[in-house]
């Protein structure tokens, strides 16, 4: 188990998913960045000294230079992104100011490649926890950004292996 702050975790996780889907050759031509960051002040006290200080809303931009659209269908990439969002960002439908669906721009460069820009809006909580040495001063107390645990499986259980018929 390791700890890290969670801001931008949806961008990071979707980027890793896309890289796995498109393969190494295409993934090397992809960049991803966070843009248009907005902070929504929505404090919620969670108990045990932990609080949600605000929500961070941002646009994640995935840029592909020279995407080989003749070799890989952009529609498959778009479907994978939509599927990932439905599987991994289920709270997007529940948020007060619903997040927009992804925006896509395709510019054909030549007979075999295109420039793709995919923009996805995300919203993530920024959580803090009381810490007398923390760098954040709020409401007369000191806080630090709250880490979250990342659990890594160390044992496999109930593994099913399907064999293709001979």
- Over the stretch 92-150, which tens digit does the pLDDT of each residue have? 777 655 788 999 999 999 999 999 999 999 998 888 999 999 999 999 999 998 865 44
Q: Report the distance separating Cα 43 and Cα 86, nearest Å.
A: 27
Q: Where do the domains of the chain lie? A: 2-150
**Nearest alpha-carbon partner for 9 in 127, 117, 143, 104:** 127
- Check if the beta carbon of residue 10 is closer than 8 Å to that of residue 122: yes
Give the pLDDT score at 42: 86
Q: Tokens in use for 104? A: 């896509």
Instruction: Check: CB of residue 102 under 8 Å from CB of residue 92.
Output: no
Cα separation, 100 vs 124, in Å, equals 15
């Amino acid at each position: 188990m390791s700890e890290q702050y969670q801001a931008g975790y949806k961008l990071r996780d979707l980027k890793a998913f896309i890289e796995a889907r498109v393969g190494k050759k295409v993934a090397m031509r992809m960049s991803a960045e966070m843009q248009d960051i907005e902070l929504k002040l929505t404090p919620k006290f969670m108990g045990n000294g932990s609080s949600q200080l605000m929500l961070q809303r941002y646009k994640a931009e995935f840029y592909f230079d020279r995407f080989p659209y003749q070799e890989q269908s952009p529609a498959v990439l778009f479907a994978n992104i939509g599927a990932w969002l439905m599987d991994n960002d289920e709270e997007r439908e529940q948020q007060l100011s619903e997040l927009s669906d992804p925006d896509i721009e395709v510019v054909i460069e030549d007979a075999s490649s295109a420039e793709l820009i995919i923009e996805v809006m995300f919203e993530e909580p920024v959580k803090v926890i009381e810490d007398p040495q923390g760098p954040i001063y709020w409401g007369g107390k000191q806080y630090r950004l709250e880490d979250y645990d990342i659990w890594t499986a160390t044992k496999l259980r109930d593994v099913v292996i399907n064999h293709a018929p001979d």
